[in-house]
Amino acid sequence: PAAVRDPRVLRVDDLKLAAHLSADHLMVADGPVLLRPYPLERWAGPLDGMVSELVVACLRRASAFAEVKTNADAGSEDLQLSGTLVEFHHDRSAGQVRVRMVLRL
């Protein structure tokens, strides 16, 4: 693992979902202009929560900060990261299994 390059503590706020995203249904893009929900498939949990957990896990694994905290963790922080999940869907337009995710941080 990389050595800690920044001795500061980062707190990651829970990410918000953009209003047009579905918190329940998986979305699929069948081309450049068609985005629709899968009718019978749902997320295992809230989408914003799952992506927030992924962001925290990746930041911790990167070892770029002395500590990465969530809103549930006690103590103070030097930096705070917040953001919105703007886009998240299965992209079938390239003929491959790909996910498109856009975060505004």
Torsion-angle region of residue 95: left (phi > 0), alpha (psi -120 to 50) or beta? Answer: left
- pTM: predicted TM-score of the whole model, two decimal places: 0.76
Which strands, in side-by-side order, build the sheet including 79-81? 65-70, 6-12, 79-81
> Residue 1 pLDDT more than 60?
no
Of the pLDDT bands very low, low, confident and very high (cuts 50, 70, 90), residue 79 is: very high
DSSP state of 75: S
**CA 43, CA 76: separation in Å to the nearest integer?**
32
Looking at residue 6, what is its pLDDT? 57
The answer to whether the CB of 15 falls within 8 A of the CB of 84 is yes
> Residue 64 pLDDT more than 70?
yes
Looking at residue 93, what is its pLDDT? 67
The answer to whether the CB of 52 falls within 8 A of the CB of 14 is yes
